[in-house]
Chain A
């Protein structure tokens, strides 16, 4: 084939695909899971709505970007981002050192400690340190003691969490040798299995569980054990993810996000979706 034919072919492919071609970033494609309520969830009409959608719309309006959302299962968001299927990921993703090796993050727009959810009437309802916040970045005696207790109490238990999350890394480090870890594709699936009794405890972000507890069929569930935040595994907060090569897009996004955080818009969305301000 001659090179002009190749160009024609490429041009054809260009016109019928959604390219991330905008050199001056007019249009961007943003991936969300669409089933991580209330961060991003699908409503009955099939539209993705939620806390992160509101932030995105705000940021895009400020940055004069045309943003479109695509649904992408969680286990494909980072490979999809690096492969170029979309330009930004907003999916309650914690900023961690491990992920920073592959991708870049915006400034954090929320913080959400991780927590455990279990059956009110089950054996784990009496876990110690319930409601206590453990900051792993301090790495002090208190956090060590809390982790030891946690390991003891979860020994032999079935723990459900979402694949490829900070919770999974946490469990890999602290729980793998004592508990049975079940990795799910979505957080909804471990909720369903917790209600069905296949797992003893579900492990995810506090903010996500607030959404779970608001659902009518979750009336028998409650938070158990301590909450954890910070440190190299859990990271400083939640941000939007970018390819390492797209520094320019990241700068545009950060500038707009900073403005939205400063004037209290993001806090307002947080109150709407979570009833608490999680930007702090």
Chain B
């Protein structure tokens, strides 16, 4: 019985704290987490396809660059890359701006935390997406590419009509995994002061001394975010492979 009373108290405290304004804060945290993830995924998609192309290239130099990219950014702790972008971004921006004279020689051009954060997470996401794209490309039937060439299709046409639709279809499940990974990586941006879900939960836990409550809430909210993305990617998979399913 004592346990039940304890539980009741806990729920009541939780309600009071959330109603006092932390609830709204957490909702904003979710919004920022989703924003960070979506932007990072887009940066990662651009970088990932370029790197995948480099890794599939016939030129040794390009292949080496692609290999190094995926090795470095999958082999380094995410936290380290995020810190590097946070501190290094401002130095690079300032250096560029000073050398072009757009700011004075003593002025500093700051890289905003959000921008630095999404660049870091985007680059990491790009390394994983590159592997997904490369795998999908390799899974395309050689014969189709040869047939397209025999038809006299230009490289662009071949890419647009044969390669891209298939890579996208084959890449969807892999991209779903990368998406989940990126949501979880976005939690690490909290160290740079972007008020995403993890930072908000952290601040709430520290200032109210209810760490169990807020970390559990954060955990649940991340679970909700990763689990509602699963049916979305399932739908995307059905959509992209619609021409491969037999009509009933």
Quick check: do A and B touch in the complex, using CB within 8 A?
Answer: yes
| B100, CB-defined interface residue at 8 Å | yes
**Secondary structure type dominating chain B contacts:** helix
| Residues from chain B with Cβ under 8 Å of A215 in the complex | 209
| Complexed CA–CA distance, A72 and B100 (Å) | 30
- Specify which of B102, B193, B200, B209 is in contact with A217 (CB 8 Å cutoff): B209
Chain B residues with CB under 8 A of A42? 203, 207
Asked if A83 and B90 sit within 8 Å, CB to CB, the answer is yes
B207 interface neighbour in A9, A70, A188, A217, Cβ under 8 Å: A188
Cβ contact within 8 Å between B193 and A73: yes
Q: Provide the bound-state CA to CA distance between A218 and B195, in Å.
A: 28
| Nearest Cβ on chain B to A209's Cβ, whole angstroms | 14
A264 nearest CB across to chain B (Å): 29
Known: A17-B110, A17-B111, A43-B21. A83 touches B206 (CB 8 A): no
Q: Name which of B49-57, B67-75, B91-99, B146-154 contacts chain A.
A: B91-99
User: B207 near A11 (CB under 8 angstroms)?
Assistant: no
Interface residues of A in 197-254 (CB under 8 A from B): 215, 217, 245
Q: Is the CB of B109 within 8 A of A19?
A: yes
Interchain CA distance A21-B191 in the complex, whole Å? 25
B107 contact set on A, CB distance < 8 A: 19-21, 23
Whether A73 lies near B191 (C-beta < 8 A) is: yes
Q: Is B17 part of the binding interface, using a Cβ–Cβ cutoff of 8 Å?
A: yes
Cα(A189)–Cα(B215), bound, Å: 14
Interface code B184-207, partner A: CB below 8 Å = 1, 0 otherwise? Answer: 000000011101000010010011
Q: Which residues of A contact B111 (CB under 8 A)?
A: 17
Cross-chain contact A46 with B103 (CB below 8 angstroms): no
Could you tell me the distance between the alpha carbons of A73 and B90 in the complex, rounded to whole angstroms?
Answer: 17
Are the C-beta atoms of A44 and B21 separated by less than 8 Å?
yes
Any B CB within 8 A of the CB of A143: no
Residue of B nearest to A212 (CB): B209
* Interface residue B28 (Cβ < 8 Å from any Cβ of A): yes
| Contact A83–B207 (Cβ < 8 Å) | no
For B211, give the chain A residue with the smallest CB separation.
A192
Q: Is residue B64 within 8 Å, beta carbon to beta carbon, of the partner chain?
A: no
Bound CA–CA A16/B115 (angstroms): 10
| A44 adjacent to B25 (CB under 8 Å) | yes
Inter-chain contact A7/B206, CB cutoff 8 Å: no
Q: Contact check, A46 vs B100: say whether CB atoms are below 8 A apart.
A: no
Q: For residue B110, which residues in chain A have a CB less than 8 angstroms away from its CB?
A: 17-20, 29, 84-86
Asked if B108 contacts A19 (CB within 8 A), the reply is yes
A141 interface residue per 8 A CB criterion: no
Known A79-B87, A85-B110; judge A46-B25 contact (CB<8 A).
Answer: yes
Task: Judge if B4 is at the interface, Cβ distance under 8 Å.
Answer: no
B108 near A20 (CB under 8 angstroms)? yes
Chain A residue with minimal CB distance to B199? A71
A45 with B25: in contact, given A35-B206, A70-B193, A189-B206 (CB under 8 Å)?
Answer: yes
Query: How long is the Cα–Cα vector from A7 to B103 in the complex, in angstroms?
Result: 10
Inter-chain contact B109/A17, CB cutoff 8 Å: yes
Complex interface: chain A residues within 8 A of B102 (CB): 7, 10-11, 14
Counting CB contacts under 8 A, is B233 at the interface? no
7 contacts between A and B (CB under 8 A): A3-B100, A10-B109, A35-B203, A42-B207, A46-B200, A46-B203, A80-B87
The 9 closest A-B pairs by CB, nearest first: A84-B108, A44-B21, A188-B206, A44-B20, A45-B21, A10-B102, A46-B25, A10-B97, A35-B206
Interface residues of A (CB under 8 A from B): 3, 6-7, 9-11, 13-14, 16-21, 23, 29, 34-35, 37, 41-46, 70-73, 76, 79-80, 83-86, 186, 188-189, 191-192, 215, 217, 245
17 extra interface residue pairs, beta carbon distance < 8 Å, beyond A21-B109, A76-B192, A191-B209: A3-B100, A7-B100, A7-B101, A9-B96, A14-B97, A16-B115, A19-B110, A21-B103, A29-B110, A42-B203, A45-B25, A46-B25, A46-B28, A70-B193, A71-B193, A83-B90, A188-B206
